[in-house]
Chain A
Amino acid sequence: AQSVTQLGSHVSVSEGALVLLRCNYSSSVPPYLFWYVQYPNQGLQLLLKYTTGATLVKGINGFEAEFKKSETSFHLTKPSAHMSDAAEYFCAVKGWGGSYIPTFGRGTSLIVHP
């Protein structure tokens, strides 16, 4: 079965520091890649997605992610963390076998210290 791995269930950074959340997927076939964010007591909302074209994708709130086919990765970054970035982040992949049902990673909780 295809899988999505998010390294680290919790990532802790200081305010102003670089944010790096890792996502790797199990297939070398270029899929469609998504990052979602979930703020406390809310549903998920789209942060950014890669479908085709430029491999560096910019999203909302200053986040961006780079699709690296050779590494089967889609890591999420932000140059400078804000307290408001504290949330759960989910990587998702679609397109394996033509399916439009996404496979989600288990999520990474981002903790931002003042």
Chain B
Amino acid sequence: DVKVTQSSRYLVKRTGEKVFLECVQDMDHENMFWYRQDPGLGLRLIYFSYDVKMKEKGDIPEGYSVSREKKERFSLILESASTNQTSMYLCASSLPSIQETQYFGPGTRLLVL
């Protein structure tokens, strides 16, 4: 059974803290994605990666960075957390094909105080 795991289900951080969200997939997928999900806005792409050490900005990359040192792991970094980054963060992975399905992790609900 395919699996995408995220390091935390719930996280509470203070404004200005550096925050790391980790995602691991066990399917040997080339593509990995980070989204944020907010009510009424659906899923918005933050960053994606199509190979180790490769990354591309999505629609809302400001205030975020990513790291992909190994194929199975994709990290999202909030350099200096702000209250407007309070959200649900979803990681996904897929094979590099238009027809392929994305597989999602359970999400991390981040609260920035």
Binding site for B on A (CB under 8 A): 9, 32, 34, 36, 41-46, 49, 51, 90, 92, 94-95, 98-102, 104-107
Does B54 have its Cβ within 8 Å of any Cβ on chain A?
Answer: no
Q: Which of A95, A99, A100, A106 contacts B94 (CB 8 A)?
A: A100
Given contacts A43-B4, A95-B98, A100-B97, contact A9 B104 (CB under 8 A): no
B43 A100 Cβ-Cβ under 8 A = no
Q: Does B99 contact A (CB under 8 A)?
A: yes
When distances are taken between beta carbons in the complex, the residues of chain B under 8 Å from A101 are 33, 45, 48, 58
Q: Name the CB-closest residue of B to A107.
A: B42
Contact assessment for B106 and A42 in the assembled complex, using a CB-CB cutoff below 8 Å: yes
CA distance A51 to B73 in the complex (A): 28
A–B complex contacts, Cβ < 8 Å, 16 sampled:
A32-B99, A36-B102, A43-B90, A49-B101, A92-B102, A98-B98, A100-B96, A100-B97, A101-B33, A101-B48, A102-B102, A104-B42, A104-B43, A106-B40, A107-B42, A107-B43
B87 → chain A, closest Cβ, in Å?
Answer: 14
Question: How far does the Cβ of A87 sit from chain B's closest Cβ, in whole Å?
Answer: 13
B62 within 8 Å of A by Cβ? no
Query: Hey, which chain B residues are within 8 Å of A100, CB to CB?
Result: 31, 94, 96-98, 100
Point out the residues of chain A lying under 8 angstroms from B92, CB to CB.
43-44
Q: Contact: A106 with B48, CB < 8 Å?
A: no
Flag if A44 contacts B40 (CB, 8 Å). Answer: no
Closest Cβ neighbor of A45 among chain B residues: B104
- Evaluate contact between A9 and B40: CB separation under 8 angstroms: yes
- Nearest-neighbour CB distance to chain B for A23, whole angstroms, equals 12
Name the distance in Å between A33's Cβ and chain B's nearest Cβ.
Answer: 11
CB proximity of A107 to chain B, nearest CB, Å: 5
